[in-house]
Amino acid sequence: MAQLVHIAAHVHSAGGMQEIIRQHRQIDAALGHASLVVALFEPAAVSAPIGLALNAWSTPAGIRRAFLKQAAPRIRDAVAVYHNAWGMPLLAPGDGAARRLAYLHTDWPELELAIRAAAAWADGFVVVSQALAERVRAAIPGFPPERIWCIDYPLMRPEAFVPESQPRPLGQPFRVGYVGRLEVRQKRVDRLAQAMRLAAPGWEWHILGDGSARRRLERAAPPGARFHGWLGGEAYWRTLSGLDAVVFFSDFEGMPIALLEALSVGAMAVYPSIGGDAEELTRHVDPACVYPAGDVAAAVGCLTRLAASPRLDRSRPAASVAGRTPGRYQAGFGTAIAAVAQGPRRSRTEAVRVTRPGDWLPMAAVRRWFPKAIWR
């Protein structure tokens, strides 16, 4: 049995990665491991027993001090899992971990820099798509390939929402959904606003999620558009299973859990050509549902074609994700933990970090003007 510590910027905020982290206490226990969670920018909560409550005005130097004081004593001699490798060159020196995993959930502009920075401090990488695995191998070609594990996100759709292949009832409007954070950065929901303006009248729009761009979207939405906010449990699955299609506008992604969940209940997906496994999965279900990235009119064209279909085969999208079971995920993660915990150590063990000028700037400034500073 190993002691695992999951370290992430956020844990109990909404998002696919955060949901996976919250589930890990049960997943780890099923593997015979004890585990706890450290949330850097949130207060302590049930899902994260150690919450440092840092904020945009915290400096990297202050983050490191708080981490070493409050979290490091619980990490000593444990396997530390740094989600999205956040802050590894800042926090790993002195964390006392016996081994470390960098767990990459998504793509982002500084990903290559993050991978290179994490390589010296990591005993292995866990990734959620083959595209991310390729990014790791390309960024650090000397890293042992047997220490890069690709595991599929698990789907936990209730059996009550198994999709049935049947036509839309005569007269029922075409139902389009967006699922995720309502943010312009990465998610590009400004394009969602354009899509709602270009779409045919009479479509039902269902927006599942929340974020800083919600009010702007509500102003741009056609009459009757429903903003559900964040839904959980049966309410989430009931709403999702009522959709005919979901649409994505992101500039970059890893493997969106919202995409997997929508496919699992039989909704078609319309996805931008931004590369990665999610694009390939969408293309496998229906090649015509992948549109040129950033081309909102083309995305609406994909939806228009689906809306004109009298019968959408809901079994096809569901079949595309049928193998993503909790047991399969648990086995994959367990393999990575066992190999790292029992294999030879390759990560650095220094306790002291060389101070950088950027360590004294507030995170708000670092994120806006010096995003690369956190990886140095």
Residue-level pLDDT at 160? 65
Average pLDDT over residues 100-108: 95
The segment with the largest mean pLDDT, out of 118-127, 305-314, 354-363, is: 118-127
> Residue 178: CB partners within 8 Å, gap ≥ 6?
189, 192, 205, 206, 207, 208, 209, 246, 247, 248
Please say if the pLDDT value at position 170 is more than 60: no
Please say if the pLDDT value at position 205 is more than 80: yes
User: In 3D, which of 64, 124, 118 has the Cα closest to residue 98?
Assistant: 124
Please say if the pLDDT value at position 161 is more than 80: no
How many whole angstroms separate alpha carbon 117 and alpha carbon 259? 30
Maximum CA extent, the chain: 68
Residue-level pLDDT at 51? 92
How many whole angstroms separate alpha carbon 68 and alpha carbon 85? 17
19-50 tens-digit pLDDT: 899 999 899 999 999 999 999 999 988 777 89
Report how far apart, in Å, the C-alpha atoms of 51 and of each of 7, 42, 221, 361 are: 10, 5, 37, 22
348-372 tens-digit pLDDT: 999 998 888 888 999 888 888 887 7
Residue-level pLDDT at 49? 86
218/164: higher pLDDT: 218
Average pLDDT over residues 321-327: 92
Residue-level pLDDT at 48? 76
Average pLDDT over residues 332-336: 97
Average pLDDT over residues 233-248: 93
Q: Are strands 124-127 and 290-291 parallel, antiparallel or unpaired?
A: unpaired
Question: Which H/E stretch holds residue 102?
Answer: strand 99-104
How many whole angstroms separate alpha carbon 216 and alpha carbon 189? 10
> Residue 7: CB partners within 8 Å, gap ≥ 6?
37, 38, 40, 71, 75, 80, 81, 82, 83, 86, 87, 91
Sign of the torsion formed by the C-alpha atoms of 100, 104, 110 and 113: positive
How many whole angstroms separate alpha carbon 156 and alpha carbon 239? 16
Residue-level pLDDT at 109? 86
Domains of the chain in start order, with CATH, are 3-154+325-375 (3.40.50.2000), 159-320 (3.40.50.2000)
Give the whole-number percent of the chain exceeding pLDDT 70. 97
Q: Are strands 290-291 and 268-272 parallel, antiparallel or unpaired?
A: parallel
Residue-level pLDDT at 166? 54
> Residue 75: CB partners within 8 Å, gap ≥ 6?
5, 7, 38, 95, 96, 97
| Mean pLDDT taken over the chain | 91
Give the whole-number percent of the chain exceeding pLDDT 90. 75
* Confidence category of residue 239, pLDDT binned at 50, 70, 90: very high
Contact predicate 208/230, CB 8 Å: yes
User: In 3D, which of 41, 43, 38, 47 has the Cα closest to residue 19?
Assistant: 47
Please say if the pLDDT value at position 168 is more than 60: no
Contact predicate 96/75, CB 8 Å: yes
